Amino acid sequence: MNIQDDLQTRWWALEAKLVERFGKKPDLETILFLIGIQEFGQLKEKFTKEQKQDLMHVAVCSLFSQSGYYILEGKDDEGWPHFRQLKTMPEMNMTEQENFLKDHVLLYFETHDF
């Protein structure tokens, strides 16, 4: 089994847990949205389109902070987390970017007792 196969197997296991929890299979964007809500810490009845994009950005920064690419600098008056980039992301093609992101999502769920 190569690294790619292991990533895919772990990803399918996460998807299965999310289906069990939410009743349907979420795509990567939905998973980022859920992580963003978790990191924001506030659940609202409805988020605007801009807020949804902001939540996904919070998720990506939170995920990549696990590897030292970003650091949480604090939260603003509305509770939104703000990050500072510490180092540039490595050059990757689209598939490598997706796998890099998925690997960080898996690490997030492993370290957050999901």
- Compute the distance between CA of residue 114 and CA of residue 109 in angstroms, rounded to an integer: 5
Burial of 40 (0-12, 13-18, 19+ CB in 10 A): buried
- Compute the distance between CA of residue 50 and CA of residue 18 in angstroms, rounded to an integer: 25
Full-model pTM: 0.88
Q: pLDDT tens-digit profile of 29-43?
A: 999 999 999 999 988
Q: pLDDT tens-digit profile of 85-106?
A: 999 999 999 999 999 999 999 9
Domain-by-domain residue ranges, the chain? 3-111
- CA 11 from chain centre, in angstroms, equals 13
